[in-house]
A = this chain, B = another copy of it.
Amino acid sequence: MPTDAATAARTLARYAVTAAYADIPAAARHEAARSLLNWIGCAVGGARHPAVDKALAALLPFAAGGQCTILGRRERTDALHAALINGLSAHVLDFDDTHLRTLLHPSVPVASALLALGERQPISGRDFLLAFIVGVEIECRIANAIWFAHNSHWYITGTAGVFGAAAASARVLGLNEDQTTHALGIAGAQSAGTREMAGTMSKAFIHGRAAQNGLLAALLAQQGFTSAETSLEGPHGFAHVLAPERDLAALTAGLGTTYEILSNSYKPFACGVVAHPVIDACIQLRNENNLNVADIEAIALRVSPRALELTGIKEPPNGLKSKWSIYHSAAVALADGAAGEHQYSDERVNAPEVRALRAKISATADAQLTEIAAHVTVKLKNGSALEKRIDRVVGSAENPMSDRDLEMKVRGLARGVLPATQTDAMIALAWRIDELADVAEVARAAAAA
């Protein structure tokens, strides 16, 4: 079938089947390694979260065996459960990577599915990297087609990420074009996850399920299980049903010549990415002015409309919800000069000085500001005012974290979970993943003793 007559799923499947490692630009391969390092750090860092404890308590009785590592933990499980649990832990801190255009978190679905498969069958580092890049490409393209009319209601990693997990799994399972087309369809039959789950464990669950459901789709397709070829663009398919408007050309235009992985970004702060410009501004204001929060009279935030829409919780009831509060984020950034996991704990949410600071903050949406920009004015009790405008937040594509920054982030996440020497070895392995004969080595390096 010629490309111009093929459905979008078939065109994407053909790309998944035929993409070659040698054709991937070095920059894309390096960005993939950065993504994987950040993902593994987030999974290790989230491994002791209560959501992971509870999911394991519920699901280990249903696990088929101990083939696969649960990153940052001692327990082992089967590949389908490993994909779910590693995806859950890698997202539960809201600290994983972000495709900035769509807010999709690319690595959780794709890497969680792939590494689980990598302990079921030998996969070389190059095959792994290639499948990872293919999966990210496909999920981000599907996200590009719908995010603008989709994200207000859905978690796009749950809905579009499942396709990436399916495509990447299909590639390493050696599925052909037909099977991969059906794998994408079966993935689409499971697209799920609404934003009502914000601030609950079910948000991370939606992300982990994208990994598990995509892997399941590829396993079913491998056996000849069927789905609709028109799963993406059909009148009752993914794009039409889950988005009132869509840009179907984005699904396939330039496929194989551009790389969405190059638009991936990593969070320096442990909360929703749209709150980051305000945090960046507040930390800079604090550090540059040696600010004492006792001197603050009032704080005025000007942010992008989407930042206020997604992180507008004024008084978060707990740590998990505080990640979606631009007020709390600004308060801890000014009080602590940081916005790591500790700043989003129940303890910091309820701390009197943080409460007092939150009460002094007002926020307004400014349509002139992009999502990587913010403006913060701190009015002091002595009558003076300090201002900081951020145009390109740290961690954005325009101002990315360095490789060294990423290593520091991963070390911080792994602290208390893995010994420092093991963390160093894990980081070193992740950087040279393209040389590995078997990526299972990476999984073993991230298991708790």
Contacts and interface: CB of A to CB of B under 8 A. Distances in A.
Nearest to A240: B153
Contacts of A225: 51, 54-55, 58, 201-202, 205
A286 interface: no
Interface stretch (A17-25, A191-199, A373-381, A411-419): A191-199
A80 interface: yes
A345 interface: no
Oligomer: number of copies: 2
A264 interface: no
A308 to B, nearest CB: 15
Interface in A182-220: 185-186, 188-202, 205-206, 209, 216, 219-220
A194 B80 contact: no
Interface in A144-195: 152-154, 158, 185-186, 188-195
A35 interface: no
Interface in A221-256: 222-228, 230-231, 234-238, 240-242
Give the bracket for the number of chain A residues in contact with chain B.
35 or more
Most B CB atoms within 10 A — which of A50, A62, A80, A209? A62
Contacts of A230: 196
Interface in A49-81: 50-51, 54-55, 57-59, 61-64, 78-80
A50 B220 CA distance: 12
Contacts of A198: 228, 236
A241 B194 contact: yes
A196 B202 contact: no
Given A54-B224, A195-B241, 17 more contacts: A55-B225, A58-B220, A59-B219, A62-B64, A63-B64, A64-B64, A153-B236, A189-B197, A189-B206, A191-B194, A196-B231, A196-B235, A196-B237, A198-B228, A200-B226, A202-B227, A205-B225
Contact of A57 (B64, B195, B202, B223): B223
12 contacts: A58-B222, A58-B225, A62-B64, A62-B219, A63-B64, A189-B194, A190-B193, A196-B236, A196-B238, A196-B241, A200-B227, A205-B220
